[in-house]
Structure 1
């Protein structure tokens, strides 16, 4: 099954169509779609799990693949697609394979017991943290680190965020590569340490210590930012991130690490952004792993329901993160677009 875009406008399931030699469509009554019976079974289980709605069956003209397509698009719309797309650019893929080069037009009956929902960035979102941290620092010296802990921690449970820690790791790898090289001292490396505010290095406040700070804060803007970050953190814990089996992990052995779904910098064009730009040049040299893999048994309604509960948690997390980014000073609507 082809990608269904959670974010990019105009994208969606590519429903396969059998065509004649001269390129004209074969009449529907003569079409035979491989895996149609399995697609119908999966669609029925999604219907029983409350993911799909019977309203879409009539407009699908009895085609189970079209029914899946329309129903999943409706589900994404009802789970925050419009708000998410303001800051994030990710695709949701429903497939029976983790191999990027063998996505099928529909699930085959023999492997319907193992179906995957995967989350894959089309491009990286972008958030500037510095102005928000300076605002919070005026209220309490440990409030900026608390905000970072809530915001980045919640998102990193479900997607990959490239932040100052990734930039520091990259510098460490470069130093290891050139260790012992006499020309290493002549290399100019970005000063990532200088780009990290002191407020970000402090210890975050615990939940008990945070409440009195917020209760005594007169700034509605600060309260809105931190309360939204708390809501985001709670939402991200609504489900456990699924575990991929060793066998499933083996199919990803030739893949690279997941590409970031969000780049978090302290200031525009700072050393962290520079490190990402350098590292991004090689990120697609090999096919990257998805940011998130949700395996489930497509033959069991309970398995379907559990998988889409995880996906709903991701959608809720991204929705709240998108709302929060729009509240953060120094950020434009639509990320880095």
Structure 2
């Protein structure tokens, strides 16, 4: 459960940010080229892309006549990689390859906008807020896009290049920068302050998926639920250890007498310890494997009906998938705990004098 909550929270945070890291310029400003290049060179950055956005464009040729749309312009290859790693709006960058001559510019339409497209109405006319105008065609439909984390209903993604550059005369550069990778937030903020124009550092907002995920988990209900799960795990381990110790203590007199007789026949202390461990481990390992199998089976049966939205702190699709690693870690930890208990009990009982154990065995 906790592993699924953490994973879902990270995915929700990445979708909200549009990647692992985002630098957003305030309206009317752009991200300087020196800033985006320096940020892309930071350790941990795997994919980085500059994005130009326009929230006040109009598309002509829809069933409504004209529709206000949000436009995203980015390098198709890098933006497709960003979408793939983010898990929203993945597409083949070849779909945005420009045509020959005066062919309409290929574009990606959001699913909400595609429903408004007039059948056979291509090409469309796109009027940008900058004053430029483009003839575009619907190359594919996507369910979302990283640069619009709010999931706006009418979004168009255009390829950066000569075909679109002519329509953007008033925008000298991109106003968004996205990246995927393990980027140090403090180092990125320091870089933004150092590369921002004089006195304009406050016009650039830095957001990270790690900070967004931490914010999702600040709800007291979520923290209490997490502590409840850890408390139940600690209680289960305590009862398991108690069961093992009671079993060992109950059989301790007989085991000590057997070890004493075997030592009179030449059994060494280390060999006796190995003998006890080999005797106790099969039932412990069997119980651990059985418990792990029951846990995985319970997730497979009940998982599709579990809604983690409340614990995650953001809307997520229902369902809980089996995760082998957390179950395996707990199973191996329980086996190690049992082995340690057996070792300690055997070491303590092995200190008793052989003659005393033999006499006790004769009396029994």
- TM bucket, shorter chain: under 0.3
Which structure has more RCO (C-alpha within 8 Å, separation ≥ 6)? 1
Higher helix share: 2
TM-score (norm 1): 0.21
TM-score (norm 2): 0.20
